[in-house]
Structure 1
Amino acid sequence: MDGSTALREAELEFDYVVVGAGSAGCVLANRLSSDGRHKVLLLEAGPKDTNIWIHVPLGYGKLFKEKTVNWMYQTEPEPGLDGRSVFQPRGKVLGGSSSINGLLYVRGQHEDYDRWRQRGNVGWGHDDVLPYFKRAENQSRGADDFHGGDGPLPVSDWRHEDPLSEAFVKAAVEAGLPFNADFNGASQEGAGFFQTTTRRGRRASSAVSYLRPALGRSNLHVETDALAQRILFEGRRASGVTFSQRGRMRTARARKEILVSSGAYNSPQLLQLSGVGPGELLRQHGIDVVLDAPGVGSDLQDHLQVRIVMRCSQRITLNDIVNHPVRRVLAGARYAAFRKGPLTIAAGTAGVFFKTDPRLASPDIQIHFIPFSTDKMGEKLHTFSGFTASVCQLRPESRGSLRIRSADPAAPPEIRINYLASETDRRANIDGLRILRKILAAPALKPYVSDEAYPGSKVVSDDDILAYCRQTGSTIYHPTSTCRMGTDALAVVDQRLRVRGIDGLRVVDASIMPDLVSGNTNAPVIMIAEKASDMILQDAR
């Protein structure tokens, strides 16, 4: 099943080799091996998902800087953020980032996918992708026009009653926004509660929901601690993958296709290491150019988040529980016994989607509300009672790049995101923070608020708010678009996710998104892999 039952070299020939056992890779491994006709190898650079904190929803805070399961990348100094480098956690474990993420199930807007289709990506409009969202989903509320009830991926309501989160939703309604019981239904706009990829209070990563049920199949092999070094080519056909595993170099051959599902950073990195990418960059690092493809690693996008931290006048925040030894132990005991309580909190309990300008066709801002506060995610919670609401601009114009630094597959790539590079992006963040402040000042939150801790009452003018965005803005962990799908000269994959100019090679993950979706990226990546698995099996016939 994995590296411990290492396959003999002679057996390292498969129909499909999937590189990366993350959100997409686990879906592919399950779907491509399901009928027993195809032999599938799944390679994962990280370990098995045995770390206990992976399976506890609130455990994402513990995995933020846990290098055994996290690539722990950093951006280059960001000009738009006062030259700060921004930490970029990415999953390096079975389940990939779905094993360490904030668990929110958000698909984005119908318009996102219709925009993809309008750009020439036939088959990727909302009506085309909805069946795949439904096929993946095991919705705790049951199936309906927008939701599936019997898919592998559990989607459920949160399991912790929190007066602060409820007051926040009421405050947003008081500020003039509609209540929305389902951000993934007919429309995204409004205030409500997030659903999460959990089942009975435990994380349902793609490793748990897709890979685990398939592990008994004799035609599926999973190798962990297996870092892909490069893709091998016969002419312009991808024929195999070399990988290092516990000090040994090994090679796996693919009779049909190699499927790169290593995420928005590692997928373009692997293509570049293998000779598919900007020719000048590859030659600079002594790599033979198989295909001069300048789009590989271009067009990187990510969501920025800027947080407002409020001091709470009642001791009911997670800060108060974590910083109190008795309450902390009781919360742990409650989770152990009932899988309920504060340890089930995801990286957002309540949320709002709104427009900063009424002329916009759909919301351009997402608010994540959480009943705790900290200086930096993954670090100690504040000693005071606090809660946080962050602004995330949904469709940034700014684009960056991903470039290898050397021919060494273990060297982290050079990541440039160019946050706040466009006037639209700067304006949306300023206006978004102003609207969020109105919500936080609404009557429903009055009994809970003592004052605004950050940025504080002195930050009022547009210039001051923008300066605060530059000083404190950070990623909300949604990198995409580095191997983007399209029909123009810089597009890396076609509408069937085949690498243009190469045979036998596809990319299936967030890197193929033509642009960022308006929301969290895990659910869309699972949809992409569900749709890709159908296309791959159709093409095999």
Structure 2
Amino acid sequence: MSADVIVVGGGTAGCVLAARLSEDAGCSVLLVESGPDYPTLDELPADVADASAPTVEHDWGYHAEADLLDRRIPLPRARLIGGCSATNGCFALRGAPADYDHWQALGNQGWSFDEVLPFFRRLESDLDFADQWHGIDGPVPIRRHPVDELNPIQRAFIDAAVQAGHAYVEDHNRPGAIGVGPTPRNVRDGLRMSTAVTYLAAARHRPNLAIRSGTTIARIEIAHGRVVGVRSTTGELLEAHRVVLAAGTYGSPVILARSGVGSAVRLSRLDIDVVVDLPAVGEHLIDHPIVAVDLPTRPAAGPRFQAIATLSPTAGGTPDLHLFAAGPFPVGREVGESGAVFGIVAGLMAPRSEGSVRLRSADPGDPPRIDVAHLRHPDDLARMVDATVEARRIARSEPLATLVTGTEIAPGPAVADDDRAAIAESVRSRVASYRHPVGTCRMGTDPDRDAVVDARGRVYGVDGLRVADASVMPTIPAANTNLPTIMVAERVAAWLRTSDPV
């Protein structure tokens, strides 16, 4: 089987790439995905369709390497057409303009906020705002729950945060937004609007687009410095003039490494022939860590992720923390005294810690070694302590305090607000992933040190090979990474459709 372009990975970015590239009727596109495909809405499993909460029923089953407390935290990554956009919490946030201006400042031309804004606008159909910041005719519908749709916890969280001194924010995707308000979400009538049911659904009829689900790629085939196709784990060769890796922050670097593109030292240890020595493959992993203040409450129906607060350490600065209300979730009486629990979840949005993704062996069946490095940098832990103290302050503000029906579950009453060491210990013992890994095939100008691809996603040293997913982000946006990942795919697809050299 052959195509002009093979897109490896049918996740958030892959569906966008396949849809945009196949708009050119003269370009044959093959989208390859390891997981299953559900071509119609009627075939979607209930948990994939339901946007009220994330799901992990279609997952790779990854865990982080053991931390200092011997914890191996789960790192959910979706394994189906649509990827994590088909299983996530549907937070449709962009981040701050400074995030993208920083990418440009690092030498990545074409990635300033002014230059990526048209692609953010192109991807969305914002149902609440129509101005210079928002798109109105893109594939992904975005809306915010009005007050009459908020469950009691979510509404009280907004009011309590305002009572605690946070500004009310009507639109978190407007530049400069710092404060609390409804969360922009890519949901329509309770349905999770993934890139599979938006971008790809509109492209499935095209005769120049083929979709291969249930096909795992072992490596990229490279001859004389140029890509010639991809090899599946069954040994099948799929030929192409161009290959775009969109297997995600954990998947793209390990496919590159199995193909001989990576650190020569590490590849040699695994008896993998070195094609291109790129030391940064799999390095510079950045993920947003989260931890919650958990509280007992009464059960309530409705979506469980409707409100969010963004915080900055300086007045007028860029956000570095998220606080959002999660819940309520039903639990047994032994956990929640009134039958339910909610959390005020703190997410560190500007972490300084960096980890890595590396091959465990040359066998595609072996999961990679993933070091998420949560809170390894002391500044990260300090900000998470600050966030926990602030989450507690909001929880004790009215009207939210009235909905707390018993004793704080975590960190718990034994941990005082002014005991930063005890809070830090609690945070370290409970930290989890916000599920936003980036950076393992980062874009940059120095392939000998810290870059895998150039500013247009082209892999250094291999003609015809690009990466176009969250792994190319050189730093992590101060936002959930679903919309930024779609934007990256849109940006690279636009370059691929021009006369941009391969």
Could you say which TM-score interval applies, normalised by the shorter chain? over 0.9
Q: Which one of the candidate residues 117, 125, 138 is aligned to 1:130?
A: 117
Alignment of 1:118-517 (within 5 A): 118-158=105-145, 160-244=149-233, 248-255=234-241, 257-312=242-297, 315-317=298-300, 342=302, 345=303, 348-355=305-312, 357-358=313-314, 361-373=317-329, 384-450=339-405, 451-460=407-416, 461-488=419-446, 489-517=449-477
Q: Deviations 1:416-474 (Å, cap 9, x if unpaired)?
A: 01111111101100111111111111122232123422111211211100000111111
On the 8 A contact 1:57/1:203 being kept in 2, the answer is yes
What SS does structure 1 have at the residue aligned with 2:365? coil
Q: State the shift of 1:372 in Å.
A: 1.8
On the 8 A contact 2:156/2:398 being kept in 1, the answer is no
Q: Deviations 1:5-59 (Å, cap 9, x if unpaired)?
A: xxxxxxx121100000011000010010112110000000000133221011135
Flag the 1:127–1:47 CA change in 2: closer, same or farther, 3 A: same
Letter in 1 for 2:37: K
What SS does structure 2 have at the residue aligned with 1:282? helix
Q: State the shift of 1:496 in Å.
A: 0.6
Alignment of 1:27-42 (within 5 A): 27-42=16-31
On the 8 A contact 2:152/2:300 being kept in 1, the answer is no
Letter in 2 for 1:437: R
Q: What CA distance in whole angstroms lies between the structure 1 residues aligned with 2:336 and 2:26?
A: 51
Q: What CA distance in whole angstroms lies between the structure 1 residues aligned with 2:140 and 2:114?
A: 20
Q: Deviations 1:134-184 (Å, cap 9, x if unpaired)?
A: 000011124211110100111122384312211111111111111001110
Q: What CA distance in whole angstroms lies between the structure 2 residues aligned with 1:383 and 1:500?
A: 57
Once the two structures are overlaid, the 10-residue window that deviates more, 416-425 or 383-392, is 383-392
Q: What CA distance in whole angstroms lies between the structure 1 residues aligned with 2:99 and 2:330?
A: 32
Query: Is 1:51 paired with 2:49?
Result: no
On the 8 A contact 2:299/2:339 being kept in 1, the answer is no
Q: Deviations 1:181-209 (Å, cap 9, x if unpaired)?
A: 11101323100011211122211111110
Flag the 1:99–1:446 CA change in 2: closer, same or farther, 3 A: same
Q: What CA distance in whole angstroms lies between the structure 2 residues aligned with 1:126 and 1:496?
A: 16
Q: Deviations 1:482-506 (Å, cap 9, x if unpaired)?
A: 0001113321111111011211100
Q: State the shift of 1:317 in Å.
A: 3.2
Q: What CA distance in whole angstroms lies between the structure 2 residues aligned with 1:252 and 1:265?
A: 22
Unaligned runs of 5+ in 1: 1-11, 319-341
On the 8 A contact 1:297/1:402 being kept in 2, the answer is yes
On the 8 A contact 1:76/1:415 being kept in 2, the answer is yes
TM-score by length of 1: 0.87
Q: What CA distance in whole angstroms lies between the structure 1 residues aligned with 2:131 and 2:282?
A: 39
What SS does structure 1 have at the residue aligned with 2:145? coil
Equivalence for 1:117: 104
Flag the 1:383–1:438 CA change in 2: closer, same or farther, 3 A: closer
Structure 1 ranges of 4+ moved more than 6 A: 380-383
Work out the percentage of aligned pairs sharing the same amino acid: 36
Flag the 1:512–1:362 CA change in 2: closer, same or farther, 3 A: same
Q: What CA distance in whole angstroms lies between the structure 1 residues aligned with 2:336 and 2:30?
A: 42
Q: What CA distance in whole angstroms lies between the structure 2 residues aligned with 1:24 and 1:358?
A: 34
Letter in 2 for 1:103: C
What SS does structure 1 have at the residue aligned with 2:290? strand
Q: Which one of the candidate residues 76, 96, 101 is aligned to 2:88?
A: 101
What SS does structure 2 have at the residue aligned with 1:87? coil
Query: Is 1:527 paired with 2:487?
Result: yes
Q: State the shift of 1:351 in Å.
A: 0.8
RMSD: 1.8
Unaligned runs of 5+ in 2: 39-43
Q: What CA distance in whole angstroms lies between the structure 2 residues aligned with 1:201 and 1:97?
A: 17
Q: What CA distance in whole angstroms lies between the structure 1 residues aligned with 2:222 and 2:340?
A: 58
Once the two structures are overlaid, the 10-residue window that deviates more, 230-239 or 219-228, is 230-239
Alignment of 1:7-26 (within 5 A): 12-26=1-15
Letter in 2 for 1:353: T
Q: What CA distance in whole angstroms lies between the structure 2 residues aligned with 1:88 and 1:539?
A: 38
On the 8 A contact 2:32/2:212 being kept in 1, the answer is yes
Q: What CA distance in whole angstroms lies between the structure 1 residues aligned with 2:292 and 2:462?
A: 43
On the 8 A contact 1:373/1:388 being kept in 2, the answer is no
Higher helix share: 1
Q: State the shift of 1:98 in Å.
A: 0.8
Flag the 1:281–1:540 CA change in 2: closer, same or farther, 3 A: same
Letter in 2 for 1:115: H
Letter in 2 for 1:249: G
Q: What CA distance in whole angstroms lies between the structure 2 residues aligned with 1:123 and 1:456?
A: 48
What SS does structure 2 have at the residue aligned with 1:453? coil
Q: State the shift of 1:381 in Å.
A: 8.5
What SS does structure 1 have at the residue aligned with 2:235? strand
What SS does structure 2 have at the residue aligned with 1:115? helix
TM-score by length of 2: 0.94
